[in-house]
Amino acid sequence: MKKLITILAISIATITANAQITLESSYTSMPKVIHLSSSGYKYCIIGDTTRLYNLNHSLWKTINLVIPAGWYNMYDEWSVSDQLFNSDTLIEVLYLINSSGMTGRTYVINETGSILFQLESSYAKYPKIINDGTNFKLVAYDSVSSKYNVYGLPGTLPCDLCGGTVGIPVHNSDGSKEMISNPYPNPTNDKTTINYELPEGINQGKIAFYDIMGNYVKGFMVDRTFKDLQISNADLAAGTYYYQLQTSKGMSGGKKLMVIK
């Protein structure tokens, strides 16, 4: 009898565990998640016709990229934002196209097809968004001068719940790797510990916490005196939070903390 009860308990647990994974929707191409300043999170499929979907997977916007005849879109690195290249709320797409050989062109367009930025570039030399610790910059290769140009941008990006930004590849200005650990224990209802390591040449930084909406919650200044930070969760409501190490050399990858009460 006890054996039968044990088998039934295991079966029920297995069924319950399997039921946690459910199919929500299917896409013909791999969707990525973007975080927009004015409209929150969306799914995005980049292409000559770029499509944005709501979190319930309904179609939200369709954007036709500017691609002259004989040119082709390069999909390796691209970005979608709404208030990075200007202050309006129109969707902006940064991408690279090429024609043949080493010929390329960098574009920033908005959802109406208006060209906000254009630069003759080089094939496979992708434009990048970087963070210098204070502001976001656009770095794009100029094939006319054979130099990498750095452009100041008037806008900004919302916080990425998983570190940096969502839907737009942001690189630390020095290309440094992430230097912060997952929390332990996690989930936690009391205290948790985070290991960190400051980039070379940096003596001070900040570990910043954000809620699931990307709102700043609190932060802790850190230096080279220690390599770990122990925090109390007494002032945090139950839920999911995200944190990252921020220094003058940029932002680390983000980590997730779950608080239970």
**DSSP secondary structure letters along 136-167:** EEEEEEETTTTEEEEEE-S---PPPTTSS-SS
State residue 175's pLDDT score. 44
**Burial grade of 103 (CB within 10 A; 0-12, 13-18, 19 or more):** middle
d(CA 79, CA 160): 14
Of 256, 70, 103, 252, whose CA–CA distance to 177 is shortest?
Answer: 252
pTM above 0.85, yes or no: no
Q: Which fold has domain 191-259?
A: Immunoglobulin-like (2.60.40)
In this predicted structure, what is the pLDDT of residue 82? 93
With a cut of 70, say whether residue 165 has pLDDT above it. Answer: no
Which residue did the predictor score with more confidence, 105 or 4? 105
pLDDT at residue 161 above 50? no
Q: Which residues contact 147 (CB under 8 A, 6 or more apart)?
A: 141
Contact call for residues 104 and 98 (beta carbons, < 8 A): yes
What pLDDT score does 162 carry? 44
Q: Where do the H-state alpha helices sit in the chain?
A: 2-18
Q: Alpha-carbon distance 80 to 110, whole Å?
A: 10
For position 19, what pLDDT does the model report?
59
Question: What does the block give as tokens for 249?
Answer: 């050399």
Residue intervals of the chain classified under CATH 2.60.40.10 are: 191-259
- pLDDT at residue 106, rounded to an integer: 95
